[in-house]
Structures are given as C-alpha cells and as structure tokens.
Chain A
Amino acid sequence: MRLIRIFLALTTWAWFSFAGFAAEHGAHAAEGAAHAEHASEGLPTAAPVLFHVGPLPVTNSMVVTWAVALLLVVAVRVATKDMQMVPRGAQNFWEWLVEGLYEFLEGILGADLVKRTFWFFATIFLLIVATNWFGLLPGVGTIGYGVQTAHGFHVTDPFLRGANADFNMTFAMSLVFFVCWTLWAVQANGIGGFLKHIFAPKGGTTGPLFVLMVVVFFAVGLLEIVSILFRPVSLSFRLYGNIFAGENMLEAMTHLGGPVFGWLTSLPFYFMELMVGIVQALVFTLLTAVFTLLICAHDEEHAHEPGTAHH
C-alpha cells in the first residue's frame, strides 16, 4: 500500500510537472517555432527543462530516470514480497540476475572489494540497462511539444527522453562514481598510500637508479592524475554518444521508411539498440569496476602478504 501511495504521489507530481512544463513551453513557443524552421531532424543534444526545484532544473531525462528507478523498485518489491527459500518465478529471475552480477564482479574485484562496492555497480548496471531499454519504448522522445515545419510536425520538447541520451546524466553518474572511487581508494590505501600508489617508484631499485626512478614515476604519476581526471569525461561521452546516436539513428530510419514502412526500416535497429543498451551498461560497469580494482589492488595485494595487517 505504501508503494502504491508513493507511486500515486509521483504520478501526480509528474502530471503537474508536465502542466508546468506546458506553461513554460508556451512562453517559448514562438522562439521554438522560429528555431525549428532551421532545426535538423533528430533528438536535440540537450535535454529540455520541465520545471525547476529551487535553482535546480528538472529535465525530461531525469523524469525517465525516476520512472525507471520506480519501476525497478516496484518490480523487485513485487518479486520479493513473499521471499521463499526455494525461489520461483520473478524472485528466481531477480536472484539469478543479482547473483550472476555479483559473481561476475567478484571475479574482477575479488571477494573483499566486491562486498563494499557491489551496491554501486549493481545499481549502475541495472539503471543503465533499464533506462536504455526504456528509451526504446515508442513515445519516449517522440511525444511532446513541437512545431509544424515544411517537413511535418517536429517535436522540439519531448515529454520523455532516454536518460542516457542526456550528457548531464551520464556525466553526473561518472562524477558520482569518481567520488565513490576516491573514497574507496582512500579507504583501501589511506591518503598516504593513495598518493604513494600513484607517485611512488615501483620495482625495488636502489642507488642512483632509484633517484632516476623517483623522477620518472613522479612524471608518470602526473600523467596518471590527468588520466584519472579524464576518466569521468570518457565514461560519460562514451555512454551518451552511443545512446544519443542510437536514438537519432532510430528516428532517421523511421523517417527513411516514410509513414507506411517506417516501422520496418527501423525494426532491425531496434534489436541492435537492445544489444547496445546492455553492452554499454556492461562497458560502463566493467570500466568503473576495473578503475576501482586498479586503485584498490595495492591494498588487496598487501592484504595477502604474510604479517601485513589489513588497512
């Protein structure tokens, strides 16, 4: 009952949000019409703002994120409402998914690190897959406010948008990961160990060669810092680029087939986008897991050394 109440509240909130969005949209209608005359076909690069909560904008991609999260929570709660020791049906499916993911990540991160970080990687994977596939539903990105052009009606402000087709969303995910990554790294190595892990010379050299190695590894550490800082950028652009391009391609293929055969020309690409959706989720999850392993591996190695206390 509590979940239903939350669902109703969110639905009402979303409905009023769209109403607010409609009012906001009306003020910019003329501007939009003028812009649309020059606008090319396809999804706009930036997600339209539906309304504001204080100074913070709420975009249609954020609404999709919340809707997907709500669907996931409801699906899991329904499946696990009456948990059985011998799982069946939906409970079996979710347990299979989570256990499979856990074992997969355990193989990469190790038994100790996966316990601390699994919640994040599982969330990342499930959310990215679900939002990617949600974005393929008919109506997402194609129903909304727009203007009439010489080539037909052009949706400029869709009500819903694939969450990962919004760069702010993918970049925000990457930044949250970056914060978590830093915390896990410091937890695993300590601040000194973290800096040592990046800058300290490796290989056990001595004498003058050691001095040279200090200089070399300091320079390598600086490059490593640049590499680390660019990870969120590469992660976010990779995911955003794939999903954004996929949605545009689907729209282009639909237009290519015209009003009668549009469904047919886009159909094969829907299957491809289903694959892209899961592959990109896996890539994002794998890369973030590997980045975490690389910085925490130091701790793991020392943890197995005899006589070394675990940090």
Chain B
Amino acid sequence: MNHLLLLAAAEGGPVEQIAKTFGANVPALIANAISFTLVALILKKWAVGPIQTMLEERRRLIAEGLANADKTKAELANAQAKSQELLNQAGLQANKIIEEARAASAKISEVERQKAVADAADILAKARQAGDAELVRLKGELRKEFGKLVVAASARVSGKILSFEDQQRLAEETNKQLAA
C-alpha cells in the first residue's frame, strides 16, 4: 500500500488512481517535504539571508548618509545665519566707528580750521603791521629824499649855496607840506 495521498482515499478510489498515475505516495512526499524544507532553510541562511543583510546594511547607511546630509545642511544654515549675524554686527560696529571717526574728524577739522583762521588772521595782522611800519619807514625816507631834492633844486634855482640852517628850514617846510 505505497500509493497514498495525505488526503487519504478509499482503496481503489479516484484519488488513489490519480496518486498512482502521478507516482504520489506518502514516503516520497515526506522525503520531498523534508528535502524542500532543508533546502529552503539552507538558501535562507546562505543565499538570500546574506544578500538581504547587505541590502539592509546599505539601506541603513544611505538613511544615515541622508540624515547626516540633513544635519550638515542644518549646520550649514546655522553657520550661515551666524556668519550673517556676525557680518551684521560687524557692519553696525563699522558704521559706528565710521560715524565716530567722522565726528572726530569734523571736530579736529573745525579746530584746525579755526586754528588756521586764527593763524591766518595773526599772519595778516603781523603782515599789516610790518606793511604799515615799512610804509612809515618808506614815507620817512621819501620825505628825506624829497627834502634833499627840494634843497638841491632851490640851490640850483637860486644859484647860491644854501646854509645848513636854510637846508633845515626847507626840509622842514617840505615835510610839513607833504604831511598836509
């Protein structure tokens, strides 16, 4: 009684007939089931398993890489924000410094300008004083020269030699007239 299916059939029935036709029998079925189970477990452990492990490992690494990329992106954005903030702060400080420098410069410039104006006024005053003094001196010399010329011209016109007193008198009169 070798030819049987698991479904069990009456001897000589249609199922047994089918089983006989296709060579189905319980021992062969059990042997094949054990064989297939072992093969499936072996393939699971040494064929499909390692590849699946590798694929999972790669998926994990890719996920980690993406997570790291996101983290790096966030850090980059953070760094950019910080650098922008620093730039803004530096800009503000620079503006402040420039304003201060500008104010200081204006102040110094004003002081210097005033100093220059004062100096210039001083120089002008001195120059004016010097000019006045020179003018006075030149006028005096001119009077002297003119007095001498008047004396000389009087001597030539009169044809006589003028005395020292006449010369003194002529010079004084000339000076008086020039001064008037």
Contacts and interface: CB of A to CB of B under 8 A. Distances in A.
B6 interface: yes
Given A45-B22, A123-B44, A168 B51 contact: no
Given A45-B22, A127-B40, A80 B27 contact: no
Contact of A123 (B23, B30, B32, B40): B40
Contacts of A41: none
Contacts of A267: none
Contacts of B52: 98, 102, 118-119
Contact of B51 (A49, A76, A173): A76
Nearest to A97: B51
Contacts, number: 123
A175 B29 contact: yes
B37 interface: yes
A141 to B, nearest CB: 15
Contact of B46 (A45, A76, A102): A76
A46 B24 CA distance: 7
Contacts of A77: 46-47, 50
Given A119-B49, A176-B36, A45 B42 contact: no
A57 B28 contact: yes
A306 interface: no
A162 B34 CA distance: 18
Contact of B44 (A45, A65, A80, A119): A119
B55 to A, nearest CB: 6
A66 B52 CA distance: 22
Contacts of B43: 69, 72-73, 122-123, 126-127
Interface residues of A, number: 46
B32 A98 contact: no
Contact of A80 (B25, B30, B42, B54): B54
Interface string A17-58: 000000000000000000000000000111101000101111
Contacts of A127: 36, 39-40, 43
Given A47-B23, A73-B43, A83 B32 contact: no
A185 interface: no
B50 to A, nearest CB: 5
Contacts of A134: none
Contact of A169 (B36, B47, B50): B36
A54 to B, nearest CB: 10
B61 interface: yes
Interface in B5-57: 6, 21-25, 27-37, 39-40, 42-44, 46-52, 54-55
B42 A240 contact: no
Question: What class of interface size applies to chain B in its complex with A?
Answer: 20 to 34
B39 A58 contact: no
B58 interface: yes
Contacts of B44: 119-120, 123
B66 to A, nearest CB: 15
Nearest to B39: A69
A167 interface: yes
Contact of A62 (B31, B51, B54, B58): B31
A172 B44 CA distance: 18
Given A80-B51, A240-B22, A56 B46 contact: no
Contacts of A102: 52, 55
Contacts of A59: 28, 31-32
A155 to B, nearest CB: 16
Given A65-B35, A95-B51, A172-B33, A73 B42 contact: yes
Given A120-B40, A168-B23, A56 B49 contact: no
Given A76-B46, A98-B51, A173-B36, 6 more contacts: A45-B22, A57-B27, A76-B51, A80-B51, A166-B23, A171-B32
12 contacts: A45-B21, A45-B23, A55-B27, A56-B30, A56-B31, A69-B43, A76-B46, A85-B61, A119-B52, A126-B47, A169-B32, A173-B32
- Across chains A and B, which 9 residue pairs bring their CB atoms closest together, nearest first? A46-B23, A172-B32, A56-B31, A172-B33, A167-B22, A168-B28, A76-B47, A119-B44, A69-B39
